[in-house]
Structure 1
Amino acid sequence: MLKKVFGSAVFGVEATTITVEVNTDKGVGYHLVGLPDNAIKESNFRIAAALQNNGYRIPGKKIIINMSPADLRKEGSAYDLTLAIGILASSNQIKADDLDKYLIMGELSLDGSLQPIKGALPIAIKAREEGFKGFILPSQNAKEAAIVNDLEVFGVDNIKQVINYFDKEEVLEKTIVDTREEFYKNLEFPDFDFADVKGQEGIKRCMEIAAAGGHNIILIGPPGAGKTMLAKRLPSILPPMTLKEALETTKIHSVVGRVKDNTGLMAQRPFRSPHHTISDVALVGGGAYPQPGEISLSHNGVLFLDELPEFKRSVLEVMRQPLEDREVTISRAKFTVTYPSSFMLVASMNPSPGGYFNDPDAPVTSSPAEMQRYLSKISGPLLDRIDIHIEVTPVPFEKLSDDRKGESSVDIRKRVTAARDFQSKRFQDNHKVHYNAQMNTKQIRKYCVLDETSKQLLKTAMERLNLSARAYDRILKVARTIADLEGSENLSGAHISEAIQYRSLDREGWLG
């Protein structure tokens, strides 16, 4: 007897419906076809034990299972429940009158309990698009899938519950999530606050500008100056995520199984801080069966690279294209996947191998040649893609011992959000641009018009610092953000002058 059950496969951040056809006939044998990987091939052992421990069995007949489309590679253990229900329905051990109305996914344990799966959110979105009535999946993923409206989501703990549901012996409880309420309820601030940072007023100003315009930033300074402390507090001043951004972010984290159990939408902007031993595939994504990398997990948030020169050069170079395009495309012989990667890059580094500037009073000194060799580990094209370079100097004792608290993240965030609102209105007719850092050359020419004084100032800086055309655009973008923070429609010499100051690594004495 032939029965069809429906599951789903995730490629990139999109899902594809998989039809599992189970045919039971005379004879003996178990044949699973349709390009399953080893995890799926091993499922018959888990299914056999799970059914036996719940009073059912795999029939002693010839069972042929086809996973359609047959030319699409399927992977993972999330098809266990799909296959098990198909076998029971095909052998008439359960009633399955409305089996075609549901999408079923879940990994089975030997006692029949269900383990969480990856990609519940994109699968639920696809199920709704294709008109399925409901989605049956492990209870740990139920809230994540229930974000999708107009789809009945049933979280189950054991295969027995699913069997009883189709036999009309048990009613499963729907998981209902009010998406907007869930989202706004979780918009609390992170644990880190700029009020904890003593001194460093100039650096806080840089961070505020970077957050307001979505600019990439690099902090250069000796050990203990507060680079990491400042970077960790950057998400606390970024504008709250919109509902659309939260859905995008949750979708990516769902694909790699990083959404916490019993959690719906991710309301906090991600902050990722990979170790410098990371590989290029782990950073940008990929592998035999491509998965999102750290840059995609940082989408709509912050990617922090501490001790930038310690990263392998090949790892840093593969970031160049995603930093420009804000997405990364991974191509294989049979398919291509694209992951979004619109993130803020925050990098930190010491100015020399010893960790200190060329200062005779420093505990460990480095010669200018050693500093040059150390800094040259970072390529010029990558530095060009970082809008703001700023030196971080150690905080003096007087400020460290001062009991007064600095300006809080809440107050800074208000100014940042106001500047972002200014930019949203400016780019309201362009769906691909939301803030200044995303502007292309055409938009820079349109929105960053300079008067004669500003032009002359920028020309002098370009000639003295030998800046590239990309650095020229970066200065204009940063100046536009500084003007937005002041609520000014026009750029002035003061805005350009401040933006030029934030190109430390272009100045003589750094990279030559």
Structure 2
Amino acid sequence: MALARTWSVALFGVDGVPVEIEADVGVGTVRTQLLGLPDAALHESKDRVKAAVRNSGHGWPSQRVTLGLSPATLPKNGSGYDLALACVVLAAAQAIPADRLADTVFLGELALDGRVRAVRGVLPALLAAKRAGLTQAVVPVPALPEAALVEGLTVQGAATLAEVLAWLTGAGGLHATTPAEPSPPPDGPDLADVIGQPEARWALEVAAAGGHHLLLSGPPGTGKTMLAQRLAGLLPPLSREEALGVTAVHSIAGLLTPEAPLVSTPPFVSLHHSTSAVALIGGGSGMAKPGAMSRAHRGVLFLDEAREFGSAKLEALRTALEEGEVRLARRDGIARYPARFQLVMATNPCPCAPPKDIDCTCLPAARRRYETKLSGPLLDRVDLRVVMRPLTAMSAVEVSAPEPTAAVRERVHKARTRAAERWSDHGWLTNAEVPGPALRRDFALPRSTTSILDRALSRGVLTGRGSDRCLRVAWTLADLAEVDRPTPDHVAAALEFRERRMS
């Protein structure tokens, strides 16, 4: 009878690929055939779509229906194609006009009674549709707040398939998007709650100012977890571009709510050592889903009792710490997820973890095994290492009033602003993102300033990567001191952060 076309989007990580959906209704054996490498959920959509069409007041064509999803060699996953399939089949059967289908993206799963259900990944899908030059989209009503974040694309919402069909025939309208009012970020835990630990508090401030990774070691009850939980509160709000990138990951993970469709503050992801490798890195059958490392993008990933995680999970962090990205190769392709997070690890000095080191009852061999659970290559990627000491006093007389988060955040924001202005021509936002060759070549410090690093390298206590990371920390210390370039004292302080004994 006729041929009709419309669009949907296939997601591979946070990258979307527009998928052209064609329907041909013609002579032949009565059957519905779906082409284009559909997965099990998409293959079952034929029956869901048939029932939804019948329960929306239309008949399914009593002829051969051939549905093609192009690119044909691209694996298609999920149920988000249902709405597009229903519309294109009815248009090919000439039950509805096809005028509005050609430049419209349809996203949504269909219930058997014709309701349009929400799907994951609406934001990255619409961003991909916009890049491909498509001009309008129809999404489930619950996804409208998320869809409103995409500028330059006309997006409308549908609650049922009948509403969409009425809109295509000109007999009715759809739900319009309304820009979501940004809600103020919730008040997080305050740094003033942490008693004592001046060295660790200073390291937390340096980590926040430069985007550096941090390792906290010490007996239980010294405030390691409390400090880690307060790092995200020191970080500045996300820019619009950063917020969209973080929100896209959370959309695919199914973590967004209509009340808070935009993630505008740095996320904080805390993991227990029983977390699986898939939950940490990402994975799953078919196309891989984002893990905790990607959910912590532009925020903080906290590993409590880090030495209990196991070497396989800990070593998986190394590539993401260097590249800021996770690449997951699966049967259906390679999924790429951003993972530029700040890593904070907390660990005890030994298995028995007494309040004072002199009370340790561990055998030397057991202590050595425990210490080596954090490998040298992983520790080499951690800029700041801090040993936390047992508290010696809790009274107000002996403990001075600690600084609140607001006071420290102000200094952090000033330091980050200095760094962003300095690196603006190169596109780097924090000192931790600056490549080592650029630090040594384009922003080289005098030999007299870095001589202590040369001596450390000659003694074998510092690697080339460690030297670069010391330079990055030195630039952060200079930003906090509001000076233009690091001094020898800043470089020495940066090296001291790496040389502290961790047990």
Q: Smaller-chain TM-score range? A: over 0.9
The structure 2 residue matched to 1:165, chosen from 167, 172, 176, is: 167
Unmatched runs of 5 consecutive residues or more in structure 1: none
CA distance in 2, matches of 1:491, 1:35: 57
The structure 2 residue matched to 1:87, chosen from 89, 92, 103, is: 89
Contact 1:299–1:340 (8 Å) recurs in 2? yes
CA distance in 1, matches of 2:199, 2:219: 16
Contact 1:284–1:294 (8 Å) recurs in 2? yes
The structure 1 residue matched to 2:415, chosen from 416, 419, 441, is: 419
Aligned to 1:407: 403
Aligned to 2:224: 227
Amino acid at match of 2:205: E
Aligned to 2:302: 304
Q: Deviation digits for residues 96-117 of structure 1, max 9, x if unmatched?
A: 3322131111011222212211
The structure 1 residue matched to 2:478, chosen from 464, 476, 483, is: 483
Deviates more, 1:280-289 or 1:345-354: 280-289
Instruction: Summarize the Cα distance change of 1:493–1:128 in structure 2 as closer, same or farther, 3 Å threshold.
Output: closer
Instruction: Summarize the Cα distance change of 1:377–1:125 in structure 2 as closer, same or farther, 3 Å threshold.
Output: same
Provide the alpha-carbon RMSD of the alignment. 2.4
CA distance in 2, matches of 1:88, 1:103: 16
Q: Deviation digits for residues 406-429 of structure 1, max 9, x if unmatched?
A: 322121111111111111121111
Aligned to 1:503: 498
Aligned to 1:394: 390
User: What SS does the aligned partner of 2:157 have?
Assistant: strand
Count of residues in correspondence between the two structures: 499
**CA shift for structure 1 position 45:** 2.4
User: What SS does the aligned partner of 1:166 have?
Assistant: helix
Match runs of 1:107-146 below 5 Å: 107-146=109-148
CA distance in 2, matches of 1:399, 1:100: 72
**CA shift for structure 1 position 402:** 8.1
Q: What TM-score do the two structures reach when normalised by structure 1?
A: 0.90
Instruction: Summarize the Cα distance change of 1:133–1:492 in structure 2 as closer, same or farther, 3 Å threshold.
Output: closer
Instruction: Summarize the Cα distance change of 1:494–1:196 in structure 2 as closer, same or farther, 3 Å threshold.
Output: same
CA distance in 2, matches of 1:461, 1:30: 71
Match runs of 1:279-294 below 5 Å: 279-287=276-284, 288-294=286-292
**CA shift for structure 1 position 221:** 1.1
User: What SS does the aligned partner of 1:100 have?
Assistant: coil
Aligned to 1:38: 40
Contact 1:186–1:267 (8 Å) recurs in 2? no
The structure 2 residue matched to 1:266, chosen from 248, 263, 266, is: 263
**CA shift for structure 1 position 32:** 1.3
Q: Deviation digits for residues 135-194 of structure 1, max 9, x if unmatched?
A: 10111111212211121111121111111111212122320427xxx5xx4453542221
User: How much identity, in percent, do the aligned residues show?
Assistant: 37
Instruction: Summarize the Cα distance change of 1:146–1:456 in structure 2 as closer, same or farther, 3 Å threshold.
Output: closer
User: What SS does the aligned partner of 1:398 have?
Assistant: coil
Contact 1:450–1:491 (8 Å) recurs in 2? no
Contact 2:287–2:331 (8 Å) recurs in 1? no
Amino acid at match of 1:425: E
Aligned to 1:6: 7
User: What SS does the aligned partner of 2:232 have?
Assistant: helix
Amino acid at match of 1:134: Q
User: What SS does the aligned partner of 2:271 have?
Assistant: coil
Contact 2:38–2:77 (8 Å) recurs in 1? yes
Aligned to 1:355: 353
Contact 2:235–2:413 (8 Å) recurs in 1? yes
Q: What TM-score do the two structures reach when normalised by structure 2?
A: 0.92
Aligned to 1:369: 365
Q: Deviation digits for residues 239-269 of structure 1, max 9, x if unmatched?
A: 2211111111112222232222353321011
Unmatched runs of 5 consecutive residues or more in structure 2: none
Contact 1:31–1:65 (8 Å) recurs in 2? yes
CA distance in 1, matches of 2:398, 2:126: 53
Instruction: Summarize the Cα distance change of 1:65–1:372 in structure 2 as closer, same or farther, 3 Å threshold.
Output: same
Instruction: Summarize the Cα distance change of 1:472–1:130 in structure 2 as closer, same or farther, 3 Å threshold.
Output: closer
CA distance in 2, matches of 1:399, 1:156: 61
Instruction: Summarize the Cα distance change of 1:439–1:101 in structure 2 as closer, same or farther, 3 Å threshold.
Output: closer
Instruction: Summarize the Cα distance change of 1:79–1:152 in structure 2 as closer, same or farther, 3 Å threshold.
Output: same
Instruction: Summarize the Cα distance change of 1:68–1:490 in structure 2 as closer, same or farther, 3 Å threshold.
Output: closer
CA distance in 1, matches of 2:330, 2:48: 31
**CA shift for structure 1 position 31:** 1.2
CA distance in 2, matches of 1:272, 1:337: 21
The structure 1 residue matched to 2:431, chosen from 428, 433, 436, is: 436
Aligned to 1:216: 213
Deviates more, 1:60-69 or 1:232-241: 60-69
Amino acid at match of 1:115: R
